[in-house]
Amino acid sequence: MTRHPSTFAAFEMKDDAARPELLTDRTEAGLLVTIGGQHQLSTMARLPEFVPAGSVLVLNTSGTFFARYPEAELPSGAQATVHFAQMCDESAFKWVVVVPAGLETGDTIRLPGDATLQLRQPHLVRGVQAKWEDWGELWVAHFRTRKLCFDGFQAEYGQPIRYPYDTTDWTLGAMQNCYSLRHTSAMMNNGGRNITLDTLETLLARDVHIATLEMRTGVGVDHEGIPLPEFVQLDPLNALVINAAIAEGRQIIPVGTGVIRALDWFYELQDCRVIPGAGWCTNVITPEDGTWLDAWVSGMHEPKSTHLAMGSAIMGEEIMLDAMVTAHSAGMKFHENGDTHLCLPASCA
């Protein structure tokens, strides 16, 4: 299975493209529109002009919580930063966390507010303990607090996740999508970051429909660079909206790579419909495996990202590479805080 197409791996970006600053006015973000292999540069303010009437835009309503705790105390007494990566159950007591390397099962980490994390077992994916870049190792841990529930604890003591290249102390509000509901994700679902409420109102006025699901995006990848399993749920009403569009031949447009993975996971190939439900999404979309989806709204991804293999499955590797070259040549911004890419099939021209 090809994880990173070689043509993308050879493509290098400028530092300022790979490390953009967060925009305060999201409508100013750049928009690359790819329709059937033809590319057009625009801005997010014009997104509704390119989305066909009758389409269904599928959004992830999971919002970002305070996942970063820089004043944790390790068993040795040393201070370190700990990240809450993924909630394992609705009780909010069992978590996947990211901690510095070298800890052992049973170790207790002290957090502000007299809270603790007790490490229960390494978080294994495909038989290997998962890691998150240079931040540390992933463990399953039990969270305890004497004073507050987790929501109260994280609101008082936590900070938003900070990407390694960004030293700005952003507020949690700056790390939310405008349509976020429950705060259940450690990381922002960046595919929709540049969509505003005004944009959604304009889309609805143009007869574009909205469906939602919840995918709790965590942190970390396995030893092959593959995203870790993430909890996702799709309710029957939103599945009905999506299935009606499929049956009528209307366009389905997932917003964000997580939504693409989720929709592909919920899809029943034999019946040509999505099945509502909930569970841990483990699939990774590649050109070899393919996908039933043929459109996306997504951020601009780095050359060695698995997201580009996903884009190649949707639009073809040649078109994906050409789109990336076009975006880079135009000075568009990549990575979490960057510009947006709308991809549609030739039938939408």
CB 216 within 8 A of CB 65: no
Interval 27-77: pLDDT, tens? 788 999 999 989 999 999 999 999 999 999 999 999 999 999 999 999 999
* C-beta pairs of 345-348 under 8 Å, 24+ apart in sequence: 345/35, 345/36, 345/251, 345/294, 345/295, 346/35, 346/36, 346/37, 347/36, 348/35, 348/36, 348/52, 348/251, 348/295
In a domain, 165, yes or no: no
Q: How far apart are CA 346 and CA 36, in angstroms?
A: 4
Cα dist. 326→37, 138, 313, 341 in Å? 11, 37, 19, 11
pLDDT at 329 over 70: yes
Among 128, 157, 186, the domain-final residue is 157
110 membership: H or E segment, kind and range? strand 108-111
- Claim to verify: residue 260 and residue 333 sit in the same structural domain: yes
- Claim to verify: residue 232 and residue 107 sit in the same structural domain: no
We report the CATH number of the domain holding residue 267 as: 3.40.1780.10
Cα dist. 277→56, 198, 247 in Å? 19, 31, 20
- Claim to verify: residue 33 and residue 107 sit in the same structural domain: no
- Claim to verify: residue 202 and residue 288 sit in the same structural domain: yes
The alpha carbon of 329 is separated from its chain's Cα centroid by a whole number of angstroms, namely 25
Interval 131-148: pLDDT, tens? 777 678 899 999 998 777
Q: What pLDDT does residue 3 have?
A: 36
Interval 209-268: pLDDT, tens? 999 999 998 876 655 566 778 899 999 999 999 999 999 999 999 999 999 999 999 999
For 52, the domain range is 6-64+171-348
- Claim to verify: residue 23 and residue 82 sit in the same structural domain: no
pLDDT at 308 over 90: no
- Claim to verify: residue 186 and residue 42 sit in the same structural domain: yes
Categorize the per-residue pLDDT at 337 as very low, low, confident or very high, splitting at 50, 70 and 90. confident
Task: Give mean pLDDT, residues 94-114.
Answer: 93
Task: Give mean pLDDT, residues 267-281.
Answer: 93
- Amino acid in position 302: E
CB 287 within 8 A of CB 317: yes
Total count of domains within the chain: 2
Residue with tokens 């390119």: 50
For 335, phi and psi rounded to 5 degrees? Answer: 75, -165
Structure tokens at 87: 């909630």
- Claim to verify: residue 201 and residue 279 sit in the same structural domain: yes
Q: How far apart are CA 210 and CA 273, in angstroms?
A: 17
Residue with tokens 């329709």: 35
* DSSP state letters, 179-225: T--SEEESS--GGGTT--HHHHHHHHHTT-EEEEEEE-----B-TTS
Among 124, 157, 190, the domain-final residue is 157
* pTM score over 0.85: yes
Q: Which residues contact 5 (CB under 8 A, 6 or more apart)?
A: 287, 308, 309, 312, 317, 321
Q: How far apart are CA 311 and CA 318, in angstroms?
A: 10
**How buried is 196 (Cβ within 10 angstroms: 0-12 exposed, 13-18 middle, 19+ buried)?**
buried
pLDDT at 15 over 90: no
Tell me the percentage of the chain whose pLDDT exceeds 90: 53
Residue with tokens 């909630």: 87
Average pLDDT, the chain: 86
